[in-house]
């Protein structure tokens, strides 16, 4: 099953997304709740504007079939996305993320053009919370996103959000109703946002001035060797960093400096190279090649293969 979202404005983009959901009976106040249609799965999506250009969204969904959500947003957008429970594959502007796979995993995105694919497997619960930050919010904070994060798309993948877990639980379990609920949720949203910005700003500044020592380069080279030995099931970024003897933030930045691509971009690149070699040698069929290089979804493998080489894996000519 596939969902397509493409727009030049935030309101139109949101309207496209909500067309796939059923609005529930509205309660007094600004909070809106939508249900996933029964034929699609079960669960809900909820949204509430918060003072000062912030919007709080949370969702709890389980799809009957694997869901590919393809999107392209051609307007300024910034958000924190906090995973409570879930599994999936996320690709944004050609960068493949490890996916929101653990509680406390946080992603930050900021930019004016983002195109990506989110693949959610069937019968797997997705529970997450996000805070959208409008240009008004950054104006109130007296922060220029272009100068702080750059004019391109800025993304930060962070698995150190466990300190925020208490606040997230309090948001999801809000015990109040009506105006008290709104005040409580707004207060908790800003508390959570303060913690995330406390982590984000130093990280963004460090990215601009990151420099690698010779020991860092050796650790990054060791990380590449570890990846090469475990392409079918590579370690998570944090575990890879520990094994190589470097912190995960410097590994993410340094790997791109040394090899010209991200850690996950390299994994994807090598998987495709090995798969093509297997197919060209006639050593296996397409489904076997996908399995060998670590893809559980044949459609994801075929799509990535075609994007990499310009033709379908079934069109490989045996040499």
Percent of the chain whose pLDDT exceeds 70 = 88
Contacts 24+ apart (CB under 8 A), 136-145: 136/52, 136/53, 137/52, 137/53, 137/54, 138/53, 138/78, 139/53, 140/52, 140/53, 145/76, 145/78, 145/110
User: What is the model's pLDDT at position 100?
Assistant: 44
User: What is the model's pLDDT at position 55?
Assistant: 96
Token pair in block for residue 302: 């075929």
User: What is the model's pLDDT at position 319?
Assistant: 65
Contacts of 311 (CB under 8 A, 6+ apart): none
User: What is the model's pLDDT at position 170?
Assistant: 92
d(CA 112, CA 154): 10
pLDDT in tens, 59-68: 999 999 888 8
User: What is the model's pLDDT at position 250?
Assistant: 79
Ranges of residues in the chain whose predicted pLDDT is under 70: 1, 27, 87-89, 93-104, 151-152, 158-163, 203-211, 319
User: What is the model's pLDDT at position 102?
Assistant: 53
User: What is the model's pLDDT at position 209?
Assistant: 57
């Amino acid at each position: 099953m596939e969902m397509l979202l493409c727009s030049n404005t935030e309101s139109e983009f949101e309207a496209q997304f909500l067309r796939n959901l059923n609005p529930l009976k509205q309660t007094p106040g600004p909070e809106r709740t939508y249900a996933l249609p029964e034929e699609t799965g079960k669960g809900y999506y909820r949204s509430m504007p918060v003072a000062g250009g912030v919007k709080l969204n949370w969702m709890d969904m389980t799809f009957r079939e694997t869901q590919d959500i393809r999107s392209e947003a051609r307007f300024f957008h910034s958000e924190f996305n906090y995973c409570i429970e879930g599994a999936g594959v996320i690709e944004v502007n050609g960068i493949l993320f490890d996916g929101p796979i653990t509680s406390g995993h946080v992603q930050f995105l900021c930019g004016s053009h983002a195109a990506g694919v989110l693949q959610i497997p069937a019968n797997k619960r997705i529970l997450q919370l996000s805070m959208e930050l409008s240009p008004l919010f950054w104006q109130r904070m007296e922060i220029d996103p272009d100068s702080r994060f750059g004019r391109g798309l800025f993304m930060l993948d962070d698995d150190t959000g466990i300190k925020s877990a208490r606040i997230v639980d309090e948001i999801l379990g809000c015990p109040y109703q009506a105006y008290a609920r709104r005040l409580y949720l707004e207060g908790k949203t800003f508390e959570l946002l303060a913690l995330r910005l406390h982590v984000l700003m130093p990280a963004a500044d460090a990215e601009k001035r990151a420099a690698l020592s010779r020991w860092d380069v050796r650790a990054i080279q060791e990380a590449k060797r570890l990846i090469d030995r475990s392409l079918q099931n590579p370690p998570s970024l944090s575990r890879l960093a520990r094994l190589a003897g470097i912190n995960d933030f410097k590994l993410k930045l340094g790997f791109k400096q040394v090899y010209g691509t991200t850690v996950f971009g390299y994994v994807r690149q090598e998987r495709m190279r090995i798969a093509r070699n297997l197919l060209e040698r006639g050593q296996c069929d397409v489904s076997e090649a996908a399995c060998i290089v670590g893809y559980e979804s044949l459609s994801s493998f075929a799509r990535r293969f075609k994007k990499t080489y310009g033709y379908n894996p079934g069109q490989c000519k045996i040499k």
